[in-house]
Chain A
Amino acid sequence: EPEVTQTPSHQVTQMGQEVILRCVPISNHLYFYWYRQILGQKVEFLVSFYNNEISEKSEIFDDQFSVERPDGSNFTLKIRSTKLEDSAMYFCASGLESNQPQHFGDGTRLSIL
Protein backbone atom coordinates (compact mmCIF):
# COMPACT_ATOMS: atom_id res chain seq x y z
CA GLU A 1 0.00 0.00 0.00
CA PRO A 2 1.44 3.42 -0.91
CA GLU A 3 2.49 5.56 2.01
CA VAL A 4 3.73 9.01 2.94
CA THR A 5 7.40 9.04 3.91
CA GLN A 6 9.15 11.68 5.98
CA THR A 7 12.84 12.37 6.52
CA PRO A 8 14.66 12.64 8.79
CA SER A 9 12.90 10.77 11.56
CA HIS A 10 14.69 12.92 14.13
CA GLN A 11 16.31 16.32 13.64
CA VAL A 12 18.32 18.12 16.32
CA THR A 13 19.07 21.79 15.62
CA GLN A 14 20.48 24.75 17.47
CA MET A 15 18.09 27.60 18.20
CA GLY A 16 18.23 30.22 15.45
CA GLN A 17 19.25 27.77 12.75
CA GLU A 18 17.22 26.97 9.66
CA VAL A 19 15.72 23.52 9.29
CA ILE A 20 14.05 21.77 6.37
CA LEU A 21 11.75 18.84 6.91
CA ARG A 22 11.09 16.61 3.94
CA CYS A 23 8.10 14.59 2.86
CA VAL A 24 7.30 12.40 -0.10
CA PRO A 25 3.50 12.29 -0.46
CA ILE A 26 1.59 9.50 -2.16
CA SER A 27 2.31 9.87 -5.86
CA ASN A 28 -1.16 10.59 -7.29
CA HIS A 29 -2.27 12.82 -4.44
CA LEU A 30 -2.90 16.49 -5.14
CA TYR A 31 -3.39 18.00 -1.67
CA PHE A 32 -0.61 18.30 0.86
CA TYR A 33 -0.58 19.26 4.51
CA TRP A 34 1.69 19.85 7.46
CA TYR A 35 0.61 19.34 11.06
CA ARG A 36 2.56 19.44 14.28
CA GLN A 37 2.18 17.87 17.70
CA ILE A 38 3.97 19.28 20.72
CA LEU A 39 4.72 16.53 23.26
CA GLY A 40 1.58 15.65 25.19
CA GLN A 41 -0.63 18.02 23.21
CA LYS A 42 -3.10 17.85 20.33
CA VAL A 43 -2.22 17.49 16.68
CA GLU A 44 -2.40 21.01 15.19
CA PHE A 45 -2.96 22.02 11.57
CA LEU A 46 -0.22 24.21 10.09
CA VAL A 47 -0.81 24.57 6.36
CA SER A 48 -2.48 23.07 3.31
CA PHE A 49 -1.03 23.24 -0.19
CA TYR A 50 -2.58 22.65 -3.60
CA ASN A 51 -1.60 23.50 -7.15
CA ASN A 52 1.72 24.95 -6.01
CA GLU A 53 0.27 27.42 -3.59
CA ILE A 54 -0.90 27.62 0.00
CA SER A 55 -4.65 26.99 0.33
CA GLU A 56 -4.95 27.72 4.03
CA LYS A 57 -2.62 28.33 6.95
CA SER A 58 -3.08 28.53 10.68
CA GLU A 59 -1.94 31.25 13.08
CA ILE A 60 1.04 29.07 13.97
CA PHE A 61 2.31 29.26 10.38
CA ASP A 62 3.95 32.68 10.61
CA ASP A 63 6.66 34.28 8.47
CA GLN A 64 9.28 31.91 9.84
CA PHE A 65 7.58 29.00 8.08
CA SER A 66 7.43 28.23 4.39
CA VAL A 67 6.45 25.26 2.25
CA GLU A 68 7.58 24.21 -1.16
CA ARG A 69 7.09 21.46 -3.68
CA PRO A 70 10.48 21.74 -5.39
CA ASP A 71 9.94 18.85 -7.79
CA GLY A 72 7.23 16.34 -8.66
CA SER A 73 7.69 14.23 -5.57
CA ASN A 74 8.93 16.17 -2.53
CA PHE A 75 7.03 18.51 -0.24
CA THR A 76 9.12 20.47 2.26
CA LEU A 77 8.53 22.55 5.36
CA LYS A 78 11.20 25.14 6.18
CA ILE A 79 11.59 26.94 9.47
CA ARG A 80 13.91 29.90 8.93
CA SER A 81 15.09 30.69 12.44
CA THR A 82 14.08 28.02 14.88
CA LYS A 83 12.88 28.73 18.41
CA LEU A 84 12.75 26.44 21.43
CA GLU A 85 8.97 26.28 21.13
CA ASP A 86 9.26 24.80 17.63
CA SER A 87 10.28 21.50 19.23
CA ALA A 88 7.54 19.04 18.23
CA MET A 89 6.61 16.14 15.98
CA TYR A 90 5.88 17.39 12.48
CA PHE A 91 3.55 15.30 10.35
CA CYS A 92 3.11 15.53 6.62
CA ALA A 93 -0.14 14.32 5.05
CA SER A 94 -1.53 14.02 1.57
CA GLY A 95 -4.95 13.47 0.04
CA LEU A 96 -6.36 12.73 -3.38
CA GLU A 97 -8.95 15.47 -3.13
CA SER A 98 -9.62 18.13 -0.50
CA ASN A 99 -12.63 16.22 0.82
CA GLN A 100 -10.93 12.82 0.87
CA PRO A 101 -9.21 11.13 3.84
CA GLN A 102 -5.67 12.25 4.53
CA HIS A 103 -2.76 9.86 4.75
CA PHE A 104 -0.08 10.74 7.26
CA GLY A 105 3.59 10.00 7.51
CA ASP A 106 5.18 8.85 10.76
CA GLY A 107 6.58 12.29 11.42
CA THR A 108 9.86 14.05 12.07
CA ARG A 109 10.75 14.72 15.67
CA LEU A 110 12.31 18.19 15.76
CA SER A 111 14.37 19.04 18.83
CA ILE A 112 15.62 22.61 19.24
CA LEU A 113 18.50 23.09 21.66
Chain B
Amino acid sequence: DAKTTQPNSMESNEEEPVHLPCNHSTISGTDYIHWYRQLPSQGPEYVIHGLTSNVNNRMASLAIAEDRKSSTLILHRATLRDAAVYYCILFYNQGGKLIFGQGTELSVKP
Protein backbone atom coordinates (compact mmCIF):
# COMPACT_ATOMS: atom_id res chain seq x y z
CA ASP B 1 0.00 0.00 0.00
CA ALA B 2 1.27 3.46 -0.93
CA LYS B 3 2.38 5.43 2.10
CA THR B 4 1.95 9.03 3.19
CA THR B 5 4.03 11.17 5.54
CA GLN B 6 2.49 13.85 7.72
CA PRO B 7 3.77 15.93 10.65
CA ASN B 8 2.70 14.47 13.97
CA SER B 9 1.17 17.71 15.21
CA MET B 10 0.45 21.30 14.25
CA GLU B 11 -0.91 24.33 16.03
CA SER B 12 -3.10 27.08 14.71
CA ASN B 13 -4.84 30.17 16.01
CA GLU B 14 -8.58 30.48 15.69
CA GLU B 15 -9.79 32.26 12.54
CA GLU B 16 -6.42 31.91 10.82
CA PRO B 17 -5.75 29.69 7.80
CA VAL B 18 -4.15 26.30 8.34
CA HIS B 19 -2.05 24.41 5.80
CA LEU B 20 -1.68 20.70 6.56
CA PRO B 21 1.03 19.07 4.41
CA CYS B 22 1.25 15.49 3.19
CA ASN B 23 4.02 13.78 1.26
CA HIS B 24 3.26 10.79 -0.93
CA SER B 25 6.28 10.29 -3.15
CA THR B 26 5.31 6.73 -4.16
CA ILE B 27 1.82 7.65 -5.35
CA SER B 28 0.68 5.78 -8.45
CA GLY B 29 -1.38 7.14 -11.31
CA THR B 30 -4.60 5.52 -10.09
CA ASP B 31 -4.36 6.70 -6.46
CA TYR B 32 -6.77 9.35 -5.31
CA ILE B 33 -5.69 11.59 -2.43
CA HIS B 34 -8.30 11.50 0.32
CA TRP B 35 -8.40 13.49 3.55
CA TYR B 36 -10.36 12.45 6.59
CA ARG B 37 -10.40 13.85 10.08
CA GLN B 38 -11.28 12.40 13.45
CA LEU B 39 -12.64 14.64 16.14
CA PRO B 40 -12.25 13.49 19.75
CA SER B 41 -14.48 10.52 20.58
CA GLN B 42 -15.94 10.35 17.07
CA GLY B 43 -15.50 8.25 13.97
CA PRO B 44 -13.44 9.46 11.02
CA GLU B 45 -15.14 12.07 8.86
CA TYR B 46 -14.55 12.56 5.14
CA VAL B 47 -13.14 16.00 4.31
CA ILE B 48 -12.13 16.15 0.66
CA HIS B 49 -10.44 14.20 -2.12
CA GLY B 50 -8.78 14.79 -5.46
CA LEU B 51 -6.76 13.18 -8.22
CA THR B 52 -4.75 15.84 -10.06
CA SER B 53 -6.51 19.20 -9.90
CA ASN B 54 -7.00 21.38 -6.86
CA VAL B 55 -10.39 20.89 -5.21
CA ASN B 56 -12.64 23.04 -3.06
CA ASN B 57 -15.66 22.17 -0.97
CA ARG B 58 -17.52 23.72 1.93
CA MET B 59 -15.11 22.26 4.46
CA ALA B 60 -11.68 22.81 2.93
CA SER B 61 -9.47 23.11 -0.14
CA LEU B 62 -7.00 20.56 -1.43
CA ALA B 63 -3.92 21.71 -3.28
CA ILE B 64 -2.12 18.95 -5.20
CA ALA B 65 1.43 19.38 -6.46
CA GLU B 66 1.96 19.11 -10.19
CA ASP B 67 3.98 15.88 -9.79
CA ARG B 68 1.36 14.59 -7.30
CA LYS B 69 4.05 13.68 -4.79
CA SER B 70 2.64 16.01 -2.19
CA SER B 71 -0.58 17.75 -1.28
CA THR B 72 -1.83 20.31 1.21
CA LEU B 73 -5.15 20.47 2.99
CA ILE B 74 -6.18 24.06 3.56
CA LEU B 75 -8.64 25.15 6.21
CA HIS B 76 -9.36 28.76 5.35
CA ARG B 77 -10.39 29.91 8.82
CA ALA B 78 -9.74 27.50 11.64
CA THR B 79 -12.34 27.19 14.35
CA LEU B 80 -12.10 25.43 17.70
CA ARG B 81 -14.25 22.68 16.20
CA ASP B 82 -11.52 21.94 13.65
CA ALA B 83 -9.25 20.54 16.36
CA ALA B 84 -8.86 16.92 15.27
CA VAL B 85 -6.48 14.35 13.83
CA TYR B 86 -6.24 14.82 10.05
CA TYR B 87 -5.40 11.84 7.88
CA CYS B 88 -4.04 11.97 4.35
CA ILE B 89 -4.78 8.66 2.62
CA LEU B 90 -3.98 7.31 -0.82
CA PHE B 91 -7.06 5.56 -2.07
CA TYR B 92 -6.81 3.14 -4.96
CA ASN B 93 -9.72 3.77 -7.27
CA GLN B 94 -10.93 0.18 -7.11
CA GLY B 95 -9.59 -0.66 -3.71
CA GLY B 96 -12.32 0.22 -1.25
CA LYS B 97 -10.33 0.01 1.97
CA LEU B 98 -8.81 3.02 3.69
CA ILE B 99 -5.34 2.64 5.18
CA PHE B 100 -4.95 5.14 8.02
CA GLY B 101 -1.59 6.39 9.22
CA GLN B 102 -0.96 8.33 12.42
CA GLY B 103 -2.19 11.58 10.92
CA THR B 104 -1.55 15.15 12.04
CA GLU B 105 -3.06 16.25 15.33
CA LEU B 106 -4.23 19.82 14.85
CA SER B 107 -4.80 21.97 17.88
CA VAL B 108 -6.54 25.33 17.57
CA LYS B 109 -5.94 28.09 20.10
CA PRO B 110 -8.58 30.71 20.82
Given contacts A101-B34, A101-B49, contact A107 B97 (CB under 8 A): no
Interface 1/0s, chain A 3-46, versus B by CB < 8 A?
Answer: 01000000000000000000000000001010100000011110
CB neighbours (8 Å) of B97 from chain A are 33, 45, 48, 56, 58
A98 on interface, CB distance cutoff 8 Å? yes
Contacting pair B43 A56 (CB below 8 A): no
CB contact between B45 and one of A48, A55, A104, A107 (< 8 Å): that residue: A104
Chain A positions near chain B (C-beta within 8 angstroms): 4, 31, 33, 35, 42-45, 48, 50, 55-56, 58, 91, 93, 95, 98-99, 101-107
| Distance, CA A44 to CA B98, complexed state (A) | 8
Interface 1/0s, chain B 36-52, versus A by CB < 8 A?
Answer: 00100111111001000
B42 to A, closest residue via Cβ: A106
B95 on interface, CB distance cutoff 8 Å? yes
Q: List 11 A-B contacts (CB under 8 A).
A: A42-B100, A43-B98, A45-B99, A48-B96, A98-B96, A99-B93, A99-B94, A101-B34, A101-B46, A101-B49, A104-B43
Cβ distance B30 to chain A, nearest Cβ, rounded Å: 10
Given contacts A31-B96, A55-B96, A56-B97, contact A43 B91 (CB under 8 A): no
